[in-house]
Amino acid sequence: MSSDFGECDDSLAGLALKEIAPPINQYSGLTLFPPSQYKLGHMATHLAAARQLTYAAAPAMDKDEAATVTAAMAKLLACDVAVWVTQEGQLIHGGWGYGEEYAISRYVVDALVLPIFDGVKPILELKVIARMLLA
């Protein structure tokens, strides 16, 4: 696998993916197993989808167009993906993923706070996205 993971280079979850690949490749060889390859591919795909939705909302926000629904969807998806990817990365690390000396444990802690800081999930889902779609 590529060590840069393409589009995932600057995101929090992308940093978790970068953190995952070298130890797996270098020490345990887990990337030889299809389940690990599946997880890494699935994680990168979800990151790309969240990034593209964010990129779709950004131009509308820059032009002061009504992009409330798209921005709320992007925020909701990006938070969900960040939490899921970092937790999956922690699971791939096994017991080492919980050690404070590894960056993946810090990424998980940071990702778990994102839904709280970025808006409560039910508010985004119910009040913003659903109401705008039904209006």
Residue 36 sits in a domain whose CATH number is 1.20.140.10
Domain membership of residue 36 (yes or no) is yes
User: What is the pLDDT confidence band of residue 9, given thresholds at 50, 70 and 90?
Assistant: very low
Domain membership of residue 47 (yes or no) is yes
Domain membership of residue 94 (yes or no) is yes
Write down the H helix ranges in the chain: 12-23, 34-62, 68-93, 103-117, 121-122, 131-134
Q: What is the mean pLDDT of residues 96-123?
A: 80
Residue 6 reports pLDDT greater than 60? no
How high does pLDDT run on average in the chain? 75
CA gap 38, 22 in Å, rounded: 17
What share of the chain has pLDDT > 70, as a percent?
73
* Ranges 5-9, 17-21, 59-63, most confident: 59-63
| Residue from 122, 39, 41, 38 nearest 80 by CA | 122
Domain membership of residue 43 (yes or no) is yes
Q: What is the token pair recorded at 80? A: 């969900």
| Residue from 36, 6, 33, 35 nearest 20 by CA | 36
Please tell me the total count of domains within the chain: 1
| Residue from 10, 22, 12 nearest 109 by CA | 12
> Residue 46: what pLDDT?
92
| CB contact set of 78 (below 8 Å; sequence gap of 6+) | 50, 51, 53, 54, 114
- What pTM does this model have? 0.73
Domain membership of residue 82 (yes or no) is yes
Residue 18 reports pLDDT greater than 50? yes
Domain membership of residue 1 (yes or no) is no
> Residue 49: what pLDDT?
93
Domain that holds residue 70: 6-134
User: Is 104 within 8 Å of 16 (Cβ atoms)?
Assistant: yes
- Which has the minimum average pLDDT: 14-28, 46-60, 110-124? 14-28
Domain membership of residue 58 (yes or no) is yes
Helices 68-93 and 103-117: angle between axes, nearest 10 degrees? 150
CA gap 8, 15 in Å, rounded: 7
Q: What is the mean pLDDT of residues 81-95?
A: 84
Domain membership of residue 63 (yes or no) is yes
